Amino acid sequence: MDLGLKGCRALVTGGTKGIGGAIADLLAAEGAAVALCARNADEVAAKVASLRGAGVPATGRAVDVADTPALRAWIAAAADELGGLDILVPNVSALAVGADEAAWRSGFSVDIMGTVAAVDAAMPFLERSRAGAIVIIASVSGREIDFAAGPYGAYKAALIHYAQGLAYRLAARGIRANTVSPGNTYFKDGVWHRIEAGDPALFAEALRLNPTGRMGRPEEMARAAVFLASPAASFITGTNLVVDGALTRGVQF
């Protein structure tokens, strides 16, 4: 299937590794120009160099999405460099699973306001696109209670609600909004890699709960996100696409 992404311009936050990195790679492989950010400047430079080495128009900057002025300025600069913007993928999370006030504040600043600020900053460019699309990376923790039922789960649920509202409000302007809710996703130096080393009992329990007997891979989550971002999904908006290998058991209506 041709996803129709050739010539599109996409922006991914947290785009150097894990799910965000895989999304950036797949967008590029499908012919899109890519702008990405993350907090680590060296990792951003390496990712941009890798994409450019493959002949992909790419740009990036070290940005903390909790710094709203810096995020807004970067999105405007990236859109200018790419000649516009068609796709926005807010992917960054604080991974706040603690119960203290600091965890709640961190999750709100990064997960919620980092996403809202990115959407607001990208909107003038998306409105000029012929195929504007927003794909927010949520989580199965936003659908049901699990070990991340504190701020992380609550804020992921809020992002699903936020995207649904965007879909309704922006439909007449030709801009789609969807979420992808990954299940447990394993990659080197990712959260489940660290849990495997630091809390093997929790890691084993997570594996036991998934009937596939394994965790997902970043590229499996990326395929769902890139499809929803593409013109091939032109009539899909307001959807929360769960990609979890049947981990969750609730019925989604």
Residue found under tokens 């907090």:
39
* Cβ atoms of 185 and 217 closer than 8 Å: yes
Q: Is pLDDT at 1 greater than 90 in this prediction?
A: no
Q: Stretch 215-230: mean pLDDT, rounded?
A: 98
Residue 252: the pLDDT is: 81
pLDDT category at 146 given cuts 50, 70, 90 is: confident
Q: Is pLDDT at 148 greater than 80 in this prediction?
A: no
Prediction pTM value: 0.97
- What secondary structure letter does DSSP report for 109? I
| CATH code for the part of the protein at 9-186+219-240 | 3.40.50.720
* Cβ atoms of 192 and 146 closer than 8 Å: no
CA–CA separation, 71 and 82 (whole Å): 16
- Segment 21-49, tens digit of pLDDT: 999 999 999 999 999 999 999 999 999 99
* Cβ atoms of 115 and 159 closer than 8 Å: yes
Residue 158: the pLDDT is: 98
pLDDT category at 253 given cuts 50, 70, 90 is: confident
Ranges of each domain in the chain: 9-186+219-240
152 has catalytic annotation = yes
pLDDT category at 187 given cuts 50, 70, 90 is: very high
